[in-house]
Amino acid sequence: MPPAVSRTPTDSAVTLAHIMSEHDTNLYGTVHGGVVMKLIDDAAAAAAGRHAGVPAVTVSVEEMSFLAPVRAGDLLTVRARVDHAGRSSMDVSVVVTAERWNLTGPVTRVATAQLVFVAVDADGQPHRVPALVPESTVEQRRERLARERRARRAKGEAG
Ligand SMILES: CC(C)(COP(=O)(O)OP(=O)(O)OC[C@H]1O[C@@H](n2cnc3c(N)ncnc32)[C@H](O)[C@@H]1OP(=O)(O)O)[C@@H](O)C(=O)NCCC(=O)NCCS
């Protein structure tokens, strides 16, 4: 039986903000992709854990795109939300934006990602998660798209 409680995407959405330092940069003076990936994974894990009500582990990174360079001094905002909940797995989307250190330009979208998490019990085994109830039409569309991705994954596994 799934947990009696259900949650909306807003219930578990997470926003992390982080100022990049020179310790995060590579030899070219821009921030390492791995630093941004860790922030994405942290925010997504927090959103998945919030939805599940138990810890959730990353099982798959479905998509990760770096759209613009990040530099020391930039204020990164990492927004994660659960798009779809299965039996124990959750599809999570993340959008990362940067406010440049001189704060003159527009807020820039610098990365996007889609990950899959699995809620786990104390023994590290998959744990049933609450149903996701998308409210707005945008949330309903995201849920449908995530369900389609999940169906494609299942087909890939079968083939
Ligand atoms: C999470 C874990 C316990 C799941 O074990 P498992 O044997 O794959 O479990 P199942 O086959 O029952 O699958 C559980 C769910 O995960 C989903 N899943 C498993 N592997 C997946 C993958 N690679 N991509 C997407 N979904 C996946 C399944 O579809 C299933 O979803 P559902 O319950 O919503 O239907 C196991 O894979 C694990 O411990 N992985 C390591 C996780 C980890 O340590 N992450 C941090 C990386 S450092």
Q: Is the CB of 138 under 6 A from ligand 1?
A: no
Residues of the chain with pLDDT > 90: what percent?
87
> What pLDDT shows up at residue 103?
67
Does residue 85 have its Cβ closer than 6 Å to ligand 1? no
As for how many domains the chain has, the answer is 1
* Minimum-distance ligand 1 atom for the alpha carbon of 58: 45
DSSP string, the chain: ---S-EE-HHHH-EEEEEE--GGGB-TTSBB-HHHHHHHHHHHHHHHHHHHHSS-EEEEEEEEEEE-S--BTT-EEEEEEEEEEE-SSEEEEEEEEEEE-TT--S--EEEEEEEEEEEEB-TTS-B---PEE---SHHHHHHHHHHHHHHHHHHHHHH-
Q: Are 67 and 109 in contact (CB under 8 A)?
A: yes
Using the mean position of ligand 1's atoms as its centre, give its distance from the Cα of residue 157 in Å: 13
User: Per-residue confidence at 1, pLDDT binned at 50, 70, 90?
Assistant: low
Q: Is the pLDDT of residue 101 over 90?
A: no
Establish if 62 belongs to a structural domain. Answer: yes
Sign of the C-alpha dihedral, residues 65, 12, 39, 152? Answer: negative
Where is pLDDT greater, at 115 or 5? 115
pLDDT of residue 28: 87
Q: How far is the CA of 14 from the centre of ligand 1 (A)?
A: 22
Query: Which residue range forms the structural domain that includes residue 133?
Result: 6-158
pLDDT for the residue 113: 98
CATH number at residue 101: 3.10.129.10
Question: What residue owns the CA closest to ligand 1's atom 30?
Answer: 89
Q: Residue 13: phi, psi to the nearest 5? A: -60, 140
Distance of alpha carbon 46 from alpha carbon 91, whole angstroms: 13
Q: What is the mean pLDDT of residues 50-75?
A: 96
Residue 1 lies in a domain: no
> For ligand 1, is residue 116 a contact (CB within 6 Å)?
yes
Among 2, 62, 69, CA closest to 32: 69
CA of 120 from ligand 1 middle (Å) equals 9
Residue 149 CA to ligand 1 centre (angstroms): 15
For 36, residues 6+ apart whose C-beta sits below 8 A from its C-beta are 66, 70, 76, 96, 110, 111
What is the chain's mean pLDDT, rounded?
94
